[in-house]
Structure 1
């Protein structure tokens, strides 16, 4: 057993009654449900864009229409750091519960607005403008969702099993993406292409708004995890308080989140395009591979989270950085030559298993770095900044390098970031930190 794991074992583990266990597990489910809804609502936009783009950007060139919708999608991405700061501040000063309720309510409003928006033919330039406003609200919401949910789930999880229970944040994050794909696929079977372009594209956004109402109801019943003395701390939720005492922790989290976000988006969002544009597979084959791969990846999260409870968070992160650095170039280079979909599926699962060392404990490994008065802010802001810069740009960097004939340079870029993640992970404390003293 590792030093971290030994420390975990030696830490005082309270005896939970059956009622306390049920309550904490319900809290995990309620928090996770909102997380699933948030990511469903955010990503269903990308999967539906093909159908609603002409309604808001009436240009004759379909590529121009998709570029405009992609630009609005990117704008939502850029709002994440602001959301990480705003909702992190709310969570540290007013409580985790109010931050999570506000976040999911804002996402609900954004989805409902998109579902009801008049088209360009009805209100002219106001249509794309209001679409942009809705996406900015959603970007702000999802930017705040990660940090607050990660903080809450890590605080409410059963001590000794925090890695396992916290892993459900990524189970629902990936599940939201899969559900978005599934809804669009079902609609494609039920409606004609003309019906989807005329009005069918609105259905996923209506579903997103309705499920957000359910998540809102569940989150309103949550019990607050932060103590009153933390909320009244004069430095609670402030940038000054975060950087005055916890600058090193912030940049440590920023460092490994940069690599984590980059490799996550490389092997999830970008991979389908890579299989089509570089490996030469059909869109249908690539979509099938990625749908099943994401499902397996989702199921891996609790297993790797439970592993971190045994071997320690630091060892999980070191394995992530080391294996990611060693395997990225061989896997990406081999995928470039692969024609057999089963071999491609196996290689992608191998890559996603390596990424799971990070994503399964992404929330808790960050939460353990900060005290409660700046925890949501530290987790949310570091994640949002690194995610917007490195995760959000992954596809553009990959396609840009491919367009100038240096596609393999992207593989090495990811590898370098994995080396950085490994070196930063060496800075993680061997001893369990702040969370073990909270409650």
Structure 2
């Protein structure tokens, strides 16, 4: 292949990675913003005599978006497998944009009463449906268009998008809390990042409309009976074990991510540190998460499950000591050190996780399988993380509530990874023995 052709192919691949990643960045940007500004959103839309109950109400609204994910995964995932990745990715970013618009302009409870929290719940449902189908179509597209020896590297662009969203959220929260007074931040300042998100929607929609359909899916659809596909489509039933494993893989991914988002609130509620100082940790977490392509590239060479297992075991071993140390040293330096340490271990886990999830399913059900596995895990485990840790702390006063949940998540995810590593090791040993016997 000529140098000109290679350069053109490289430009096209960079374009498709950017087009797919912008939706992931917007998804995490919106969800992270809601978690970061939970206290402001609680005051604006869910007022209560008890501030902690108001905060819980806002977290329940956050959870509504998570609960809507399985519905979005089912509808959007099937749509992506039947009509194409491009069509589904375009629709998902439009739905995200609608939810973001509501968050940016919705009047407060004081202005319109119960219509305000109802509107926020509608926004969360729209964002949840969009996010539920976004990751399936995105990862399917990335894996199917990647070079044969680099699916992990290409799929890790989703983690890079997540890192960029952490950076944007952390920087915007730090700047706004530094420039505005607390009253201004509570009144209107928290809406500014959502307005910025609307600009990202417009740019992302334009880029996604210029995408070409993935070749493996196009070949599959061309060989199918269009009427049969429209009526029923491929079934996910033969791949239910893969779906269960996918759910378990995502558990640690989503719980650790939500805990990182929750840390500014944890710092204020448990450690009694100023929230505006805690935002700096999110910026550093975003920078560390940019290293995900390196661990993804490593997994392309030595195997995904091995790299991920190292990260999961590391988090399980450090969960309790980390939180005990943090509670015994409630300082900004300790908080940032804890967040950065968790982020480093998360890079080992999440870097290869996107490709590992996509590779569990064949092309005809890949978007649906990935979307459902991710949505179910995020809904069951991720959405409950801030609410559960807050409730446990409120009822028992246990400052290690978050550590209990993080350790459980790490064990749940490490178990299938360890089994897969052992299975592959046994298969390799059996193959070596068979080859040796053949030549004896």
TM-score of the two chains, using structure 1 as the length reference? 0.84
- Tell me what 1:424 maps to: 416
Query: Using a 3 Å threshold, how does the CA distance of structure 1 residues 410 and 176 change in structure 2: closer, same or farther?
Result: closer
Corresponding residue of 2:262: 270
Aligned to 1:22: 11
The answer to whether residue 163 in structure 2 is matched with residue 174 in structure 1 is yes
Residues 37-94 of structure 1, C-alpha deviations (whole Å, 9 max, x = no match): 2222333334445445554445566555444333322211211111122211111111
Residue 183 in structure 1 maps to residue 176 in structure 2 = no
* TM-aligned CA deviation for residue 202 of structure 1: 3.8
- Aligned residue for 1:222, secondary structure, equals coil
Query: What's the offset of the Cα at 1:214?
Result: 0.5
* Deviation (angstroms), 1:220: 0.8
Map 1:386-397; keep pairs closer than 5 Å: 386-397=377-388
Matched ranges for 1:339-350 at <5 A = 339=330, 341-350=332-341
Say whether the 8 Å CA contact 1:242–1:374 is kept in structure 2: yes
Is 1:100 the counterpart of 2:89? The answer is: yes
**Structure 2 CA distance for partners of 1:237 and 1:139, relative to 1, 3 Å:** farther
Counterpart of 1:298 (choices 286, 289, 293) is 289
CA distance in 2, matches of 1:201, 1:330: 34
- Runs of 4 or more above 6 Å deviation: 235-240
Task: Tell me the distance in 2 between the aligned counterparts of 1:400 and 1:295.
Answer: 28
Quick check: 217-226 or 331-340, which moved more? 331-340
1:116 equivalent in structure 2: 105
In the alignment, which residue of structure 2 is the partner of 1:137? Answer: 126
Indicate if the aligned counterparts of 1:237 and 1:377 stay in contact, CA closer than 8 A: no
| Greater shift in the superposed pair: 132-141 or 368-377 | 132-141
Alignment of 1:374-413 (within 5 A): 374-402=365-393, 403-408=395-400, 411-413=403-405
Contact 2:295/2:347, CA 8 A, preserved across alignment? yes
Paired residues of 1:308 and 1:316 also in contact (CA < 8 A): yes
Q: Structure 1's 122 and 221: CA in aligned 2 closer, same or farther, altered over 3 A?
A: same
**Whole-Å separation in 2 of the counterparts to 1:390 and 1:115:** 28
Verify: 1:338 aligned to 2:329, yes or no: yes
Q: Aligned match of 1:365 in 356, 375, 380? A: 356
1:382-408 CA-to-partner distances (Å, cap 9, x unmatched) read 111111111111223333333315554
* Deviation of 1:137 (Å): 0.6
Cα pair distance change 1:423/1:46, threshold 3 Å: closer
Cα distance between partner residues in 1 of 2:178 and 2:398 = 39
Asked if residue 210 in structure 1 is aligned to residue 199 in structure 2, the reply is yes
The residue that corresponds to 1:325 in the other structure is 316
Alpha-carbon separation, structure 1, partners of 2:388 and 2:189: 33
- Cα displacement (A) at 1:302: 1.6
Q: RMSD of aligned C-alpha atoms?
A: 2.9
Structure 1 residues 21 and 128, CA, compared in 2 at 3 Å: closer, same or farther? same
Offset from partner CA, 1:241-263 (integer Å, 9 cap, x none): 112x2111111111222233223
Quick check: which one's helix share is greater?
2
Residue 254 of structure 1: aligned partner? 247
1:161 aligns with 2:150: yes
Task: Summarize the Cα distance change of 1:382–1:159 in structure 2 as closer, same or farther, 3 Å threshold.
Answer: same
Aligned to 2:128, what secondary structure does the other structure show? helix
Which residues of 2 match residues 303-318 of structure 1 at below 5 A?
303-318=294-309
Structure 2 vs 1, CA of residues 192 and 255 (structure 1 numbering), >3 Å: closer, same or farther? closer
Structure 2 residue matching 1:160: 3-state secondary structure: coil
Equivalent residue for 1:85?
74
User: What is the TM-score when the length of structure 2 is the normalising length?
Assistant: 0.83
For 1:373, what is the secondary structure of its paired residue?
helix
Does structure 2 conserve the Cα–Cα contact (< 8 Å) formed by 1:34 and 1:219? no
Partner of 2:235: 241
- 1:8 maps to none
Q: Give the superposition deviation at 1:320.
A: 2.5
SS of the equivalent of 2:235 reads helix
Question: Does residue 227 in structure 1 map to residue 217 in structure 2?
Answer: yes
Distance 1:383 1:238 in 2: 23
Cα distance in 2 for partners of 1:238, 1:199 equals 48
Q: 1:252·1:427 contact (CA, 8 Å) conserved in 2? A: no
Aligned residues: 413
Extract unaligned runs of 5+ from structure 1.
1-15, 432-439
